[in-house]
Amino acid sequence: MEIFVLASGSKGNMTYLKVGHIKLFVDAGISYKKIKEKMESYQEDLFDVHTILITHEHSDHIMGLKMLLKHKIIKDVYLTQGTLNVLSDDIKSLIPNIHVIKSEDTFKVYDLDVKTFMVSHDAAEPIGYVIEHLNKKVCFVNDTGYVDQAYYELLSDADCYLLEANHHPTKLMQSLRPFMLKKRILGEKGHLSNDDAAWLVNALVKKKNSKWIITHISEDCNSILDIEEAIVNIFDDPTKIELANKGTLFLDEIGDMPLFYRPRFSECCKNVKWSESEESRRRRSMSESSHTQECSAAHGRCLA
């Protein structure tokens, strides 16, 4: 199972999944030109991909969909009724095969087993995906203010998580962004903070080492060091996730410039006793109260 992150962030989100002869996209939030360039850079044939799973209708997730349909590349589109309802008529008229799905559905895409779950975001009917093939499991958890505990069993012990760690709350509040945008990002229908994401992954990964592609990193309200701090402070064992092997993939909001996080947690944590800072405790407490609640990567490619 190969995972190629074509883009991640508020300016575009798109992932290419390849399992033998099976090829599909999850979202298409960048331009057709960029999709072509990204696929060519991975030496993958864009015209071999005929299926796409859509999480929701925001432009940073469907920007390239119309042109993929116009060029008769995509044949099968999987999406919820709520998402379909708010698509423009010109996009809907171009879709050859519409597959309407809903949260908590289970269905087949070729030989892949796909399960959906509800996420909390300010869209019509957003969902996340769990994709399984043989003994491999990948979870797509993006654009959500929190993840309901009812889905923890479904999401537990995946081989790879594409899961957002969007922002550092203090940096967000100190930024020049409008207050309403800050409120939206921090809210239940916004995005996971670093502490939220670390707390969630720590809760999900129990019985095996997992790989984590951290997505949707804010360009101006987050940093790799902030994410590292959250992981080290919150995880019961930071070495149970693989974040570095030939470089771990972190993607900024532009979606074009991957950041590589090189230090190995297994080395930096060895024989070190970590204590939680007062600031970290405060942020974790704030995060928990607001919810009910490696990637072996080389230039965006992950083998799971």
Going residue by residue through the chain (304 aa), what tens digit of pLDDT does each one get?
Answer: 899 999 988 889 999 999 999 999 999 999 999 999 999 999 999 999 999 999 999 999 999 999 999 999 999 999 999 999 999 999 999 999 999 999 999 999 999 999 999 999 999 999 999 999 999 999 999 999 999 999 999 999 999 999 999 999 999 999 999 999 999 999 999 999 999 999 999 999 998 789 999 999 998 999 989 999 999 999 999 888 886 433 233 322 223 333 333 334 334 444 444 444 454 455 445 444 443 333 334 346 666 7
Q: What is the pTM of this model?
A: 0.81
Angle at 165 between CA 246 and CA 253, to 5 degrees: 80
DSSP assignment letter at 219? S
Reduce the DSSP state of residue 76 to 3 states and report it: strand
Q: Which two tokens stand for residue 12?
A: 């575009």
Quote the CA–CA distance of 217 and 254 in Å, as a whole number: 10
Label residue 182 left, alpha or beta by phi (over 0 means left) and psi (-120 to 50 means alpha): alpha
